[in-house]
């Protein structure tokens, strides 16, 4: 496929706000794409070059892209800046510049453009920034103006198409069946192997039979299981009967992968697993590769008595002198690219391991939790001190559950996790196999709400110095819309106000994101991309005539920034409605 043709599809998608119409346009695109290029087309459509967990980034800011525009069309840099200030969109700069024959339009294929983008992205070392600018400028000149619009936006992740991996799965189903009926099968494969480009290639070439054969592979993250909520101990007993209770840690969710690079053969099976380079990978909740940030944990993982393994757990910082657990905001400081060695001594962490998903070439996802726990206990028996088996007690009555909850709260933990003993690991799902219980105050919600910041309002009075006086937060629905649920204007320290302003200004946009549902009376002064996740506490959820989904948070206040979560992990509309009903149960 020629890239010009792909750009035409992008333009169609950009012009529609309908999720169904987007899905149908993508399905047409996927039909037209060949098996050899569908993965690259999907990555490009999502504003990526590779799956997120591989961490391929451009590292090119808007200032660099303005230099690209200036170089490509041989226009004064100040002129490019002036146009950008007026338009607010890198993609539209070139359309304002008189190119005077600078566009060569070589009618490049998707594969050619993709390769050149990849070469630019991975260019490192001395002089790499200048090479990136020059090579991107040459690429822009080699493209027609519509194609150049999207390539200009690409390095700064502002493609403005507004869909996610889940829409891609819907579109793949639509490609084959003309509806979403195959979405469940596709999502099952994606849950255990999150390379969506690979899933698309398999589906395009081999259909459902190929998708059914997708297996867990060390080094490729599995979408993590998530917990539901229940309002009280009585409901826990009623729903779960006899179950495991573990402490709920306020840390960084981690998924640990190990492959020692040896052959692994299961008895009675011909297939040989392994034969891969030695690897240790530590993935975050939103599937970022954090391995380089935790060399102490990686070293401990390598000592495990297993050839291949995948573990699920929580990395929690602790005070080396007192042994007390640290808060999430303290632990998150370990998520850094520079000064890692010095931070290890300053802020040590332990991983509380509570599940095992794979060992020695065998997936454990379908085994009941009771069996997985037994296998995990064997693996953890001689584990390094940085890897700790999570405590667990079997509970069947309200008295014991409440006793454990109080004990863990006294220890500075968040509460308890209650887990059914008989169920398999539900990758990518939120259900009552796992239930969290954090309630500490009868006047508050049964849990905090994870929201995304949508925009902010200019400050007045004392806050005028901060440039921000309140901010709008929302949650998402199953169609991908993001609706407001609260305007937060109190309860923040001066430092928090400065921090939210700093973060918001990094991702501010000129126009409202087309996914946002916000009443005109609530529209903020500055819109931002839905990339800042925050944990919010409120007294209750109330009916609202003004907020998007008819519900609002009463007396909302910021708990903390959730840098480990993205749009896929925040609270959704269905969960919000469940919590609203729990208040009355």
> Which residues are part of the catalytic machinery?
248
Place of tokens 């840390």: 251
Q: How many CB atoms lie within 10 A of CB 35?
A: 13
**DSSP annotation string for 49-76:** SS-GGG-------HHHHHHHHHHHTT--
d(CA 475, CA 517) in angstroms, rounded, equals 10
Asked if residue 40 lies in contact with residue 112, where contact means CB atoms within 8 angstroms, the answer is: no
Beta bridge partners of 140: none
Residue 178 burial (10 A CB sphere; 0-12, 13-18, 19+): exposed
Distance CA 27, CA 39 (A): 14
Listed in sequence order, the DSSP H helices in 193-276 are 196-212, 233-240
Residue matched to tokens 């500055």: 526
Reduced to 3 states (helix: H, G, I; strand: E, B; else coil), residue 482 is strand
Of the candidates 214, 217, 215, the one whose C-alpha atom is nearest the C-alpha of residue 201 is 214
**N-terminal to C-terminal alpha carbon distance within the chain:** 56
- DSSP per position, 93-157: HHHHS--TT-------BHHHHHHHHHHHHH--STTHHHHHHHHHHHHHHTS-HHHHHHHHHGGGT
Judge contact between 445 and 538, C-beta under 8 A: yes
3-state helix, strand, coil in the chain (%, to 5): 40, 20, 40
Instruction: Report the C-alpha gap between 336 and 522 in whole angstroms.
Output: 36
Q: How far apart are CA 425 and CA 480, in angstroms?
A: 26
The answer to whether the CB of 474 falls within 8 A of the CB of 457 is: no
Q: Are 108 and 3 in contact (CB under 8 A)?
A: yes
Task: Report d(CA 572, CA 569) in Å as an integer.
Answer: 8
Q: Within its chain, how far is the Cα of 544 from the centroid?
A: 29
Encoded tokens for 472: 């709008």
Q: Which two tokens stand for residue 270?
A: 């011909």
Residue 348 CA to its chain's centroid (Å): 25
**Cβ contacts of residue 150 below 8 Å, gap of 6+?**
7, 10, 91, 159
CA angle 348, 354, 357 (to 5 degrees): 115
CA neighbours closer than 13 Å in the CB half-sphere of residue 175: 25
């Amino acid at each position: 496929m020629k890239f010009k043709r792909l750009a035409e599809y992008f333009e169609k998608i950009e012009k529609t706000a309908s999720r169904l119409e987007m899905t149908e346009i993508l399905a047409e695109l996927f039909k037209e794409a060949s098996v050899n290029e569908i993965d690259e087309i999907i990555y490009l459509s999502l504003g990526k070059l590779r799956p997120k967990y591989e961490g391929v980034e451009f590292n090119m800011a808007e200032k660099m892209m303005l230099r690209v525009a200036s170089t490509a069309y041989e226009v004064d840099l100040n002129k490019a800046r002036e146009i950008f200030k007026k338009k607010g969109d890198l993609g539209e700069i070139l359309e304002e510049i008189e190119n005077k024959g600078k566009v060569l339009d070589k009618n490049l294929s998707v594969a050619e453009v993709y390769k050149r983008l990849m070469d630019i992205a991975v260019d490192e070392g001395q002089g790499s920034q200048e090479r990136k600018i020059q090579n991107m400028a040459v690429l822009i000149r080699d493209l027609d103006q519509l194609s150049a619009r999207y390539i200009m936006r690409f390095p700064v992740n502002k493609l403005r198409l507004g869909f996610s991996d889940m829409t891609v799965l819907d579109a793949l189903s639509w490609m084959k069946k003309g509806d979403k009926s195959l979405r469940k099968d596709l999502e099952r494969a994606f849950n255990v192997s999150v390379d969506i480009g690979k899933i698309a290639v398999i589906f395009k070439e081999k259909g459902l039979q190929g998708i059914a054969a997708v297996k867990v592979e060390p080094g490729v993250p599995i979408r993590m299981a998530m917990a539901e909520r229940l309002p009280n101990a009585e409901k826990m007993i009623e729903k779960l009967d006899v179950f495991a209770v573990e402490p709920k840690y306020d840390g960084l969710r981690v998924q640990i992968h190990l492959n020692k690079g040896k052959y692994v053969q299961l008895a009675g099976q011909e297939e040989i697993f392994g034969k891969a380079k030695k690897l240790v990978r530590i993935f975050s909740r939103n599937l970022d590769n954090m391995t380089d940030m935790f060399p102490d944990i990686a070293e401990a993982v390598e000592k495990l008595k297993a050839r291949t393994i995948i573990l699920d757990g929580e990395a929690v910082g602790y005070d080396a002198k007192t042994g007390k657990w640290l808060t999430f905001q303290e632990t998150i400081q370990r998520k850094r690219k520079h000064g890692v060695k010095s931070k290890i001594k300053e802020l040590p962490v332990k991983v509380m391991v509570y599940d095992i998903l794979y060992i020695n070439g065998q997936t454990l996802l379908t085994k009941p939790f009771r069996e997985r726990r037994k296998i995990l206990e064997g693996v953890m028996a001689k584990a390094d001190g940085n890897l700790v088996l999570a405590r667990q007690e079997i509970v069947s009555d309200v008295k014991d559950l409440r006793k454990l909850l109080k004990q863990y709260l006294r220890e500075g933990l968040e509460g308890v996790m209650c887990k059914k003993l008989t169920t398999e690991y539900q990758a990518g799902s939120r259900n009552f196999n796992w239930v969290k219980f954090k309630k500490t105050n009868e006047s508050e919600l049964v849990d905090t709400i994870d929201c995304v910041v949508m925009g902010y309002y200019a400050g007045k009075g004392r806050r005028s110095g901060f440039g921000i006086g309140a901010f709008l937060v929302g949650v998402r629905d199953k169609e991908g819309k993001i609706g407001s649920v609260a305007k937060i204007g109190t309860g923040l320290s001066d430092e928090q106000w400065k921090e939210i302003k700093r973060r918001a200004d990094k991702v501010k946009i000129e126009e409202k994101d087309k996914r946002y549902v916000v009443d005109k009376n609530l529209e903020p002064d500055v819109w931002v991309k839905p990339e800042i996740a925050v944990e919010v506490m409120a007294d209750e959820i109330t009916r609202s005539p003004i907020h998007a989904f008819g519900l609002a948070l009463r007396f909302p206040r910021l708990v903390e920034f959730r840098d480990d979560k993205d749009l896929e992990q925040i609270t959704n509309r269905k969960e919000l409605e469940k919590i609203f009903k729990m208040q009355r149960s």
